[in-house]
Amino acid sequence: MGVHRAEGGVLDTCRADALLTGLVERYSPSGQETEAAEYLVAQMRDLGLCAAVDPAGNAVGEIGDGHQVIVLLGHIDTVPGAIRVRREGNLLHGRGVVDAKGSLAAFVCAAACAGMRPGKRIIVVGAVEEEAATSKGARHVLTCLSPSVAVIGEPSGWDRITVGYKGRLLVDYALRHEVGHTAGPGASAPEEAVGFWRQVLAWAARLNTGRERGFEQLTPSLRRICSGDDGFVEHVEMTLGLRLPLDSDSAGLQEELVEMAGDAELSFRGYEQAFRASRGSPLACAFVRAIGVQGQRAAFTVKTGTSDMNVVGPVWQCPIVAYGPGDSTLDHTPNEQLDLDEYHRAIEVLTAVLRDL
């Protein structure tokens, strides 16, 4: 079996598998992507793309020259936690194989298979720091690319197309006050922090009344909490994450949270607005056709997390979807694994899309 390249060439599936395996073997948590980026640049050059590491640290490769600019924006970083890279049957295990090096490797292979297309410039980006709140790589390409269409590399399954992501707001809570006796009437700093968290849960439940779908709800999570004292002053710090629906008013939410927090100090970071793309765009329709050729009916989905689509979608205002092989329920887990048959299917679909657009 082979993945067909333009003008009669073939990219053997063993070559595609080796590219992905090598990428996964280069452990690249956010902020430590250099080795993986340099590896990917070398691989893209071997496959006929013009490639380099850009000033942000992204691995960027391109092929073709034309008025239609097709950007395939994946991310090369992962969450922390090394997983032994190994192949068991048709499953490849390793940190980032699902989220989202499988998608990024599929982008590179598809661009090489599509080859030089009249009037088309295909650009593959392996962005840094997508898993961090900074999204450094995506924010850099906003300043230098203006695509006609864009595909974000995130796992959806080879026959599914993602058209929307919820937004995000991170909330840092800090409270300090004098230590009191544990038998006294006053609440400790940790107890006050827990009380605030319970208020947030109740507040979100009220806001979600009548909203049945998770994509429409405000969803809070407790990311971190720690406390201590020096014998005189006790302190507690806590980080909350809010997943935001499309109609969220960030400024209004922040005002309500500050009011609930009382004497505690709140700071806000990592804001991304929710974003939803059209299911009827020429790009989405090209994916539907390509998946249909593979004998499957395409399905559309939205996700309750965030991705670089939240960063670039509102600015680029072009047809955009997210696509990639893998089961997204395995994202960030100790059991990340990708079925290589699904990876090959995704390459075929992406290649067909690049030729069809």
Q: Could you give phi then psi for residue 113, rounded to 5 degrees?
A: -70, -40
Is 77 considered catalytic here? yes
Which of 33, 62, 129, 130 is the catalytic position?
130
- CB atoms under 10 Å from CB of 342, counted, come to 20
Q: Where are the beta strands (DSSP E) in 130-166?
A: 149-153, 160-165
Question: DSSP alpha helices (H): ranges in 117-266?
Answer: 136-142, 189-207, 250-261
Which of 17, 33, 77, 237 is the catalytic position?
77
Tokens encoding 226: 């720690």
Bridge partners (DSSP) of residue 12 are 2
Tokens encoding 234: 């006790």
DSSP-assigned letter for residue 182 = T
Q: Which residues are catalytic?
A: 77, 130
